[in-house]
Amino acid sequence: IQDLMFEPLVKYGKGGQIEPCLATDWKIEDGDKTLHLTLRQGVTFQDGTKFDAAACKWNLERWMGLDQFSWMNCSKYFQSLEVIDDYHVTLRFKEPVLALMQELSYTRPTRFLSPKSVGADGKFKEPVGTGPWVQISADDTQSVFELYDGYWGDKPTYERLEAKVIPDARSRVAALRAGELDLIGGFWIAPLTPEEGKQLEAAGFNVVVDPGNVTLVMAFNPDRAEALKDPQVRKAVSIGIDRAAISKVLYHGYAKPAGNMFSGALPYAGTQHDAPVRDAAAAAALLEKAGWTGSPIRSKDGKPLTLELVVSPDAVPGSRVIAEVIQSEMKEIGIDLVIRSVDHASKHTDMLEQKYDLGFFLTYGAPFDPFGSIVGLCLSTFKNDVEGKLITDPVNLDPLINAATAATGDQIQPTVQKVYDWLRDNDAIAPLVYVPSIWAHSKRVQGFSGPVTEYDMPYENIILAE
């Protein structure tokens, strides 16, 4: 919703390319510690207030340098802001800011609101931005927008947009079928399952599948499961999984098997490897070599090779079915895989407290990755009280991550590649599939294409047929 009304300095484009928005030009100097911005002229907020360097400064100082936004490096390392003239601003930082322009493309808190949209006490009163849509009304069931006549950029060809709140997935699909909605979908917004996508396609609706930029990854927890301390066992589990079958059966071919932590759709995603092909014989041989023998369930030193996989269909849709497929495949190579299904809240608690042997994680996706997930899910010193950690190794992995996040310019790609190489060489994680983003729309919607990130409202380029 915020994307309709509020705009950033720059936008996150396909493949992570940074595109102009309220800033038309920028220059980074001083080892990534100084940013010179040229602001777009001729822009007004929806209340008529001029967007200029003063408005830019007022907005940036509402969040830059504050503790509550220290999760963003541009805020954490903020030093000063200087207005050069009406349309030029210079920002200075205490340390180099990795992916600075990427951070400035985020939906929150970087977008710009009119200085008149807050009261004398500095508290927010009403949503007034520079974007193409003006909010007319909003309640718990829907928000209604009308086109802003004074918008500086390319205007949509239609004049009214209604965003309805329908939490129940079946009700959303039914509303589309009944003609009450024109568009549903996305990975987080109003997700469609692959089954629903196929059903709507068969019913004559247009279904658009974006390959997505989120990866479903299996985590190993060797601190709880002694067997997983052996990289041979981790590799056996990984190559014992049929990723192609998961893609075909669960995702109806919409998902692509993953061979990397991140897909090539993201910047700095590293060398792209093919997904491992299931090889039960090789997996069994690795387990034999690691000392796990016998059948039907292998054992070592009198202990059976039993692993617990924690899943939450609420947190990761379809994860129970994926787990059951993997359970069958593990049984074939002599591993007793026990599935424990929990609700969303319990899943987060279990991940944080490491109450699992194996678990499913989702990477953050654009515009936060790759560094959002690398730091948030893999750096041991970064506090993450939400998802827990995908993998940590203070001795071997932390130095590689710290080097990657400290790199600048041409050194970023080779240093972050060392992180990916370590994860791969040690079979530290098992990427499974790149999760697709599925959209469906009515016949009267023409020109639709999936948004670059889940935080962009896909209103652009749409033409409504009569």
How far is it, in rounded angstroms, from Cα 388 to Cα 224?
15
Q: Is 403 exposed, middle or buried (0-12, 13-18, 19+ CB in 10 A)?
A: middle
In a domain, 123, yes or no: no
**Helices and strands in the chain, H and E counts:** 14, 20
In a domain, 129, yes or no: no
Q: pLDDT digits over 327-379, tens only?
A: 999 999 999 999 998 887 787 788 888 889 999 999 999 999 999 999 999 99
pLDDT at 345: 78
| Ramachandran class of 243: left when φ > 0, alpha when ψ lies in -120 to 50, beta otherwise | alpha
**What's CA 5's distance to the chain center, in Å?**
22
Domain match, 90 and 234 both: no
Domain match, 89 and 177 both: no
Tokens at 408, concatenated: 């600048």
Tokens at 101, concatenated: 């322009």
Domain match, 111 and 143 both: no
CB neighbours (10 Å) of residue 311? 24
Residues 6+ apart with CB under 8 A from 89: 36, 37, 39, 53, 56, 57, 81, 82, 83
Q: pLDDT digits over 129-163, tens only?
A: 999 999 999 999 999 999 999 999 999 989 999 99
How far is it, in rounded angstroms, from Cα 340 to Cα 336?
13
Domain match, 351 and 276 both: yes
CB 130 within 8 A of CB 46: yes
Kindly give the pairing relationship between strand 183-185 and strand 358-362: unpaired
Domain match, 188 and 255 both: no
| Domain count across the chain | 3
The CA-atom distances, in angstroms, between 141 and each of 138, 146, 167, 172, 421 are 8, 17, 10, 13, 47
pLDDT at 275: 96
CB 419 within 8 A of CB 425: no
Domain match, 345 and 406 both: yes
For residue 298, give the CATH number of its domain: 3.10.105.10
How far is it, in rounded angstroms, from Cα 341 to Cα 346?
9
Residue with tokens 């180099």: 96
Query: Nearest 5°: phi and psi at 213?
Result: -130, 25
CB 55 within 8 A of CB 48: no
Residue with tokens 């001083």: 30
In a domain, 251, yes or no: yes
Domain match, 357 and 419 both: yes
Residue with tokens 């092909």: 277
- DSSP code of residue 278: P
pLDDT at 410: 87
Tokens at 319, concatenated: 């994860």
CB 167 within 8 A of CB 182: no
pLDDT at 220: 96
Domain match, 428 and 443 both: no
In a domain, 126, yes or no: no
- DSSP code of residue 147: E
For residue 150, give the CATH number of its domain: 3.40.190.10
pLDDT at 286: 97
Domain match, 283 and 423 both: yes
In a domain, 167, yes or no: yes
In a domain, 145, yes or no: yes
Give percent of the chain above pLDDT 70: 100
Q: Which residue type does 454 have?
A: E
What's the predicted TM-score (pTM) here? Answer: 0.90
Tokens at 216, concatenated: 């479903």
Give me Rg for the CA atoms of the chain.
24
In a domain, 201, yes or no: yes
In a domain, 346, yes or no: yes
Q: pLDDT digits over 377-436, tens only?
A: 999 998 877 778 889 999 999 999 999 998 888 899 999 999 999 999 999 999 999 999
Q: pLDDT digits over 70-81, tens only?
A: 889 999 999 999
> Higher pLDDT residue, 31 or 238?
238
Closest CA to 244 of 196, 195, 277, 289: 277
Domain match, 149 and 82 both: no
The CA-atom distances, in angstroms, between 147 and each of 1, 154, 157 are 14, 11, 9
Q: pLDDT digits over 156-207, tens only?
A: 989 999 999 998 889 999 999 999 999 999 888 788 888 899 999 999 999 9
Range of the domain at 452: 138-211+437-464
Domain match, 101 and 243 both: no
Domain match, 277 and 151 both: no
